[in-house]
Structure formats: C-alpha cells, structure tokens
C-alpha cells in the first residue's frame, strides 16, 4: 500500500497537547510505512483564536519531539508569508461560488444557541449576500457515502443528523472548516488522511460536500480514524488542559522519550521512546482490519 501525501493539520488555537502528538506520531509513522510525504498544513482561518505564540508552538513541538515533515512551511515566518490559509482564500471562494451557482446552499441567520435549543431554523428566502448570515448546505441523509479505509474494507453509511445542513461559510464571510479542509486536501493532492475518531462525522460531511464540487478527488482518499487519548475521566483532551500541553511538560523538564512513554502508558500501548515505536502497534492493528 503506497500513498503520495498525507498531512499534519493542527489549528493554532492553543498549545499542542499529548493527544495532538499521538495523532502526529501515527501520521508520520504511517507515511514512512507507505511512502507518503508529510505536509504540514496549519489551519488558521479562525483568526480570532490564532496567535503567533500558538503558531510558533507547533514548530517548537515538532522539532522537540523529532516528528518530521517534508512539505509545507519551515518555520512560523515561512508559514505567514507563504502557507497561511488566508493566501488560499480564492480557492475557498471558488468552491463556495460553485455551491451557490448549483443552488446547494441557503442563507441562515440563526444563532448557535437557537439551534442548540432544538428550535427549528425558519430562514427562508434570505439573500445569500445579506450581511451577517451563514451559508448552510442543503443535505439529503438518504444518500449513500463510501469511506475508503486503511484496512481495505470500505464502509457504506449516510450523513449523520449531527451534520444536518452544516455550515460551509460562516457569518464573518470566512469558509467553514468542512469546506476549507476539502478544498485544501484537493489543492495539495492528499490521498491519505489520518485523524481521530472524534472527526468521523466531519469525514462524512466532507465526503458529502466533495460530491457537490466538480472535479474533487476527495472521495478517493484513504482514511484512518485512530482512537483518542483521553484524560482520566475519559474526556477528550483539549488545548485548554494546560497540564497535558507539550509546552508545560517541557518546562517541567520532560524529555522527548518521557513524553512518548507517557502517551504510550495512557493509551495502554507498549513502552515507546519515539514516534515510530508509539505508532507501530496502532498501525499494525489498523492494517489487519481488526
């Protein structure tokens, strides 16, 4: 099994934590196993949460832990000048225009709190160019979607209700994550996507969306959704959990081998001193189809 390109795609909205490193380790080791190049793709469209300190932390963490990448920015300055998603806005706008021209989107002025309270969206006939509205995709939950998996066993399913009429353009006019991620993976010719199980619904939303974008190769990608590293009560780690950030652990005097060993222990994996050792049993289990 050989691939051309995979990607590490952190969001600079906080300091990277142990869960991020586990995903990066699996991605890098699987790339080596399958001949793929690793692209560092930093998702920085959420400008309200992005800070230069968080961007630098991505490079500091990858260098400190010895996780390699072959394509993308070499440092924070290179990222800002050449690789920021802001420099790919024409690509996202073109994708949005395709959806608009095909009648696949509608304008929505509902707040998150309204939708969270299960109140129905009653937005009808709002112009798409109205200020302060998001664009939502018209969704059909009976359409079959195929997820090509690393084990070679495709999964047939449909779009989950959690992704009913999901947002493709936010109220601030910026593309939403699902659209920018599909567009970027097409642009960089990614063919292997490694991500956590928490992004399974996003994968299905992106596969659904890609069907509506002429020429998209996204549905041909191979996907591997790995298990998540959680804290003691079983909650997914977040960037607000400071004591699991690599920055915090480095300041406590931890070395790379200590961090990999800590992740392996928390995941119930054999002892590991580098990213290859950490990822090896995870990849073997995935390739076996178990």
**Distance between first and last Cα of the chain:** 17
CATH code, 120: 3.40.50.620
Q: Report pLDDT for 184.
A: 98
Q: How many CB atoms lie within 10 A of CB 21?
A: 26
Q: Work out the burial of residue 141: count CB atoms within 10 Å of its CB; fewer than 13 is exposed, 13-18 middle, 19 or more buried.
A: exposed
Alpha-carbon distance of 191 to 2, in angstroms, equals 10
Closest CA to 283 of 130, 151, 105: 151
Strands 167-169 and 155-158: unpaired
Per-residue pLDDT at 180 exceeds 80:
yes
Domain span at residue 52 reads 5-287
Per-residue pLDDT at 169 exceeds 90:
yes
- Going by the DSSP 8-state scheme, the letter that residue 38 receives in this structure is E
Alpha-carbon distance of 170 to 189, in angstroms, equals 25
Q: How confident is the model over 242-262, as pLDDT tens digits? A: 668 999 999 999 999 999 999
Closest CA to 170 of 246, 244, 112, 252: 112
Q: How is residue 63 written in tokens?
A: 């260098």
Q: How confident is the model over 190-245, as pLDDT tens digits? A: 999 999 999 999 999 999 999 999 999 999 999 999 999 876 555 555 555 566 89
- Going by the DSSP 8-state scheme, the letter that residue 236 receives in this structure is B
Q: Report pLDDT for 288.
A: 81
Q: Where do we find the tokens 């300055």?
A: 77
What single string gives the DSSP state of each residue in 130-177?
STT-EEEE---TTSEEEEEETTS--EEEE--GGGTT-EEE-TTSPBPH
Closest CA to 175 of 271, 91, 83: 91
Question: Model confidence at 1, in pLDDT bands (50, 70, 90)?
Answer: confident
Task: State the total domains in the chain.
Answer: 1
Alpha-carbon distance of 212 to 217, in angstroms, equals 11
Q: How many CB atoms lie within 10 A of CB 173?
A: 14
Q: Report pLDDT for 113.
A: 73
Cβ-contact 108, 135 below 8 angstroms: yes
Alpha-carbon distance of 199 to 160, in angstroms, equals 12
Q: Report pLDDT for 238.
A: 53
Q: How is residue 233 written in tokens?
A: 């009560």
Query: Mean pLDDT lowest for which of 115-119, 126-130, 183-187, 237-241?
Result: 237-241
């Amino acid at each position: 099994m050989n691939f051309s390109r995979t990607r590490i795609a952190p969001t600079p909205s906080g300091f990277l934590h142990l869960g991020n490193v586990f995903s990066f380790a699996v991605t890098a080791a699987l790339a080596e196993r399958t001949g793929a190049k690793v692209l560092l793709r930093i998702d920085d469209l959420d400008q309200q949460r992005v800070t230069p300190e968080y961007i630098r932390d991505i490079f500091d963490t990858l260098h400190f832990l010895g996780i390699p990448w072959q394509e993308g920015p070499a440092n924070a300055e290179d990222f800002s000048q050449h690789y920021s998603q802001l420099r790919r806005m024409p690509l996202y706008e073109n994708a949005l225009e395709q959806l608009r021209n095909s009648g696949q989107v509608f304008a929505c002025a509902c707040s998150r709190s309204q939708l969270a309270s299960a109140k129905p969206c009653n937005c009808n006939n709002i112009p798409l160019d109205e200020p302060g509205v998001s664009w939502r995709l018209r969704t059909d939950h009976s359409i079959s979607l195929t997820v090509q998996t690393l084990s070679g066993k495709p999964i047939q399913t449909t779009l989950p209700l959690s992704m009913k009429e999901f947002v493709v353009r936010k109220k601030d006019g910026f593309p939403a994550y699902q659209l920018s991620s599909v567009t970027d993976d097409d642009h960089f010719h990614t063919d292997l996507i490694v991500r956590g199980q928490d992004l399974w619904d996003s994968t299905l939303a992106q596969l659904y969306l890609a069907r509506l974008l002429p020429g998209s190769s996204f549905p041909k990608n191979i996907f591997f959704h790995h298990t998540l590293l959680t804290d003691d009560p079983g909650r997914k780690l977040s960037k607000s959990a400071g004591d699991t950030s690599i920055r915090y652990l480095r300041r406590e005097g931890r070395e790379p081998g200590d961090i990999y060993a800590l992740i392996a222990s928390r995941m119930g994996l054999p002892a590991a001193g580098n990213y290859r050792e950490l990822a090896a049993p995870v990849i073997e289990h995935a390739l076996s189809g178990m």
